[in-house]
Copies of this chain bind each other. A is one copy, B any other.
Amino acid sequence: MVQYHDVPSAEGSGPVDEAAGSALRVCVVLFRWSGTELETATGESGHIPWDRPHPEEPLGATAERIIRRWAGIDAEYVEQLYTFSRSGGGQREIVISYLGLFAPDTFDEGQRQSLTWTPAAATQAVDDVERMVLEYALVRLQAKLGYTNIAFHLVPSTFTLSELQHVYESILGQPMDKRNFRRRMIASGILTKTDQTRRDGSHRPAMLYRFSEQDDHTSYLTPPWQSEP
């Protein structure tokens, strides 16, 4: 039962036209898989990458632009999360948060990013709203692992099943059974086995898989309409 506290009820009816509008902030929680752990990005002075939308620019386009500016490349996956508001001193700011995922091999070109990547669990937020945004982004990412293919956006274009399993384990914070994990993934039909292997150390090489793009069901529970009209 969601409980909302009482708030003095409005006296007038009909839209109250506030004198001035509110400042908008679109911010994007970026995640990548370092190969070992999940990382989030912070920009200058520890803030989550953000900007204000340009006039006429849809919010989703703002999120993409922010990602491009700070990371130098497009994210694999972008999704709107939640909208917060902060107010104080007569000023209001609306904070529209987005989630962005990167595959690690998209960074190989050595772009000059203005980002600092830190372990997702240890990321320090600069204020309460950013803390909530970060927390919620992680919660949503965890929840979506359960019923979507979202983890594939965090993995290079070819990958081993152990790599994929490590991504799941690390995000969910719990170990998984290797045989059950592999069976489930293969049964889901979204994997294509390549004929390549990867030697990784003094042990048997691993088969490389590819994500077979069709029937990606990462995006339900999000409006199917990409950009606002």
Contact = CB atoms under 8 A, between A and B. Distances in A.
Nearest to A220: B143
Interface residues of A, number: 74
Contacts of A92: 53, 55-56
Nearest to A70: B13
Given A79-B2, A92-B56, A218-B2, A61 B226 contact: no
Interface stretch (A15-23, A115-123, A161-169): A15-23
A7 B219 contact: no
A157 B121 CA distance: 42
Contact of A22 (B22, B78, B153): B22
Contact of A1 (B3, B13, B77): B77
Nearest to A22: B21
Contacts of A64: 4, 7
A228 B65 CA distance: 26
B59 A9 contact: no
Given A22-B22, A69-B9, A220-B143, A60 B15 contact: no
Contacts of A229: 86, 128-129, 132
A58 interface: yes
Contacts of A187: none
Which of A128, A219, A228: most chain B CB closer than 10 A?
A228
A219 B84 CA distance: 17
A221 to B, nearest CB: 6
A59 B151 CA distance: 32
Contacts of A139: 221, 223
Q: Which are the 9 A-B pairs with shortest beta-carbon distances?
A: A21-B21, A7-B61, A83-B83, A128-B229, A56-B87, A21-B22, A85-B228, A84-B228, A136-B223
Interface of A: 1-5, 7, 9-10, 13, 15-18, 20-24, 50-61, 64-65, 68-69, 74, 76-80, 82-88, 90, 92, 94, 96, 114, 128-129, 132, 135-136, 139-140, 143, 153, 213, 216, 218-223, 225-229
